[in-house]
Amino acid sequence: MPRARGLLILTGLLILVSPVPSRAEVNSFSKGLVVSVSEKASQAGLEILKQGGNAVDAAIATAFALAVTHPAAGNIGGGGFMVVHPGGANLPTVFEYREAAPLKAHRTVYSPDDGMYSHKVPGVPGTVRGMGLAHQRFGTLPWKDLLQPAIRLAGQGFPVSKELASSLNGLLATSKDFLELQKVFAPPNRNGKWKAGDLLRQNDLARTLERIAQHGPEEFYTGETARLIEQEMIRGKGLISREDLANYQAHERKPIAIPYRGHVVYAPPLPSSGGHTLGLMLNILDGADLKKHGRWSHQTKHLLLETMRRAFLERARHLGDQGFTDIPHFLLEKTFAKSLHASIDDDKATPSKSLAPEIPISPESDNTTHFSVADAKGMAVSNTYTLERSYGSKVVVTGAGFLLNNEMLDFNWFPGTTTNSGRIGSEANTIAPRKKMLSSMTPVIVTKNGQAFLVTGSPGGRTIINTVLQVVINVIDFDMTIQQAVDSPRLHHQWLPDKSKFEDMKGKAYQESLKKLQSMGHEMSGGPQGDAHSILIDPSTRKLIPGLDQRIEGGLAGY
């Protein structure tokens, strides 16, 4: 895995840390902390904290900055979920700004010939309205001030990292038909390639952000930016109309609250499947003694994989936009979790198809991004948002400089068609106008004695929920530091395809347990999973302790 570069800002001093140290070595912070995949974006959030903004103000600044510095997933043309703990005795809340199906979309709007990169696949973007709703509810600094760091980054440019240079080169090489994308992300040397240190300027995006800063979030949906989106859709025969943009709504929602071993885990409700699926898994595990065999034993791995298998089956069966689908209440009931726990064979893997012979699933991309923010007054923010695939639909809005998502891929395109490879055709997530597609994004805030204790989340498609599960149990059940919890190798199973994954398949410490898992019937494979930039708030000192993920790159900024 590539090493991350941690950025610590301490009373004006800049300290570069590589690789990320363990919690025993890292500094903690008392006034504010931002942890994200991008150093520049984390700095943007810190800048707002130092101006007197709170964690929500800083999160908004970080989100807009990521749209500039992490264009593969950071965005204004996508959507996501934000969990906020206001601090004090206040309960957490969720801002849901998931993309929505356009009015022209319908149950069978797509054919097998439709690809994943085109004007036809973007959902109506929600990010800007979501940030606006969060600001309206909790913001303290003026809206326009929160966008200034992103405007500077876009207009003045910033030096790209080695990882971003490689990503842009790969994008340009595989996107020859997307002329506006080729123009916006062209390397400084038109005959060459991006290399670390090259300056990426995005002038059209800077102008778009300036309009949104000056005129407010509504500019994106009813102003000049909306006009440019409409023109782009007409030009490419897309589905989104000006009416879709004007009518889009972000919502403040009550989170799913999951009691777990003296803590409460707060996660987003539908259309995020994360709250229900994570809640079901934690309820199954709550009846088990996870410490009995140790974190890395084959027994513990087996229990986790079988728990994931069952929870993801129920996800496929039942979950969709709650405004269009009746969701069974029993999914979060302890008695149901107990029955699923009882169905786990301690000695062998359960074939996935045997659990659901009646089901004759749509794939999700892992190109999302998560960041965590906490301030000195006890407010914490956990935010995950996405364009779906890396760089979304690859459609850049001409003259506006930003990418549109390809989030319509997250609906079930072909009702009734479920395949062993992972496409699910269940009814709950079929397409309908204004319906919001099912998501696996799972930003969470864990509380202890009512106060924010752990802030975490991750990208990774369906692996997101399992990544978050393991960060949570690593801290609560296995007493890991937050950095250890983030660094530890992760497991994944999602019902179909019937395959078990473990990140560190070659690690010497895990070989015996992996062999036993294979002998029990688990088909094992490897590969990186997630990017869980997290924060732990020490219950006794209220110090803010970062958990910076090393799987891609990243930066933390605190003081």
pLDDT of amino acid 227? 98
Quick check: 314 pLDDT over 70? yes
Q: Of these residues, 300, 368, 369, 384, which one is catalytic?
A: 368
Quick check: 397 pLDDT over 70? yes
Instruction: Let me know: does 470 contact 488? Beta carbons within 8 Å.
Output: yes
pLDDT of amino acid 402? 98
Instruction: Let me know: does 314 contact 339? Beta carbons within 8 Å.
Output: no
pLDDT of amino acid 367? 77
- Dump the DSSP string for 335-346: HHHHHHHHT--T
Give pLDDT tens digits for 237-260: 999 999 999 999 999 999 999 999
* ω into 19 cis (within 30 of 0): yes
Quick check: 310 pLDDT over 80? yes
Q: Write out the two tokens for 545.
A: 């302790």
Cβ neighbour number for residue 424 with a 10 Å cutoff: 23
Q: What is the dihedral of CA 174, 179, 182, 188, to 10 degrees?
A: 150
Place of tokens 């997933």: 73
Mean pLDDT of the chain: 92
For a pLDDT cut of 90, what percent of the chain falls above it? 86
Quick check: 13 pLDDT over 60? no
pLDDT of amino acid 171? 98
Average pLDDT over residues 326-338: 96
pLDDT of amino acid 19? 34
Instruction: Let me know: does 217 contact 134? Beta carbons within 8 Å.
Output: no
Quick check: 429 pLDDT over 50? yes
Q: The pTM is what?
A: 0.94
User: Is the torsion defined by CA of 274, 278, 71, 210 positive or negative?
Assistant: positive
Listed residue (79, 84, 76) closest to 58, CA to CA: 84
Confidence of residue 20 (pLDDT cuts 50, 70, 90): very low
pLDDT of amino acid 267? 98
pLDDT of amino acid 6? 41
Give pLDDT tens digits for 195-229: 999 999 999 999 999 999 999 999 999 999 999 99
pLDDT of amino acid 406? 97
Annotation says 368 is catalytic: yes
pLDDT of amino acid 23? 38
Quick check: 4 pLDDT over 80? no
pLDDT of amino acid 17? 31
* ω into 255 cis (within 30 of 0): no
pLDDT of amino acid 365? 57
Confidence of residue 43 (pLDDT cuts 50, 70, 90): very high
Average pLDDT over residues 72-100: 98
Quick check: 11 pLDDT over 70? no
Quick check: 417 pLDDT over 60? no
pLDDT of amino acid 190? 73
pLDDT of amino acid 14? 30
Strand partners, 187: none
Average pLDDT over residues 148-177: 97
Average pLDDT over residues 168-187: 97
* ω into 497 cis (within 30 of 0): yes
pLDDT of amino acid 1? 36
Listed residue (385, 440, 433, 383) closest to 124, CA to CA: 433
Instruction: Let me know: does 194 contact 168? Beta carbons within 8 Å.
Output: yes
Average pLDDT over residues 141-163: 98
Surface-to-core class of residue 26, CB atoms within 10 Å of its CB (0-12 exposed, 13-18 middle, 19+ buried): buried
Cα–Cα distance measured from residue 517 to residue 193, given in angstroms and rounded to the nearest whole number: 44
Q: What is the DSSP letter of 424?
A: -
SS3 386: strand
Cα–Cα distance measured from residue 268 to residue 468, given in angstroms and rounded to the nearest whole number: 13
Q: Write out the two tokens for 30.
A: 């008392």
Confidence of residue 26 (pLDDT cuts 50, 70, 90): low
Place of tokens 């935010």: 383
Cα–Cα distance measured from residue 138 to residue 156, given in angstroms and rounded to the nearest whole number: 30
3-state helix, strand, coil in the chain (%, to 5): 35, 20, 45
Average pLDDT over residues 279-300: 97
Q: Which residues contact 216 (CB under 8 A, 6 or more apart)?
A: 132, 143
Listed residue (542, 538, 559) closest to 46, CA to CA: 559
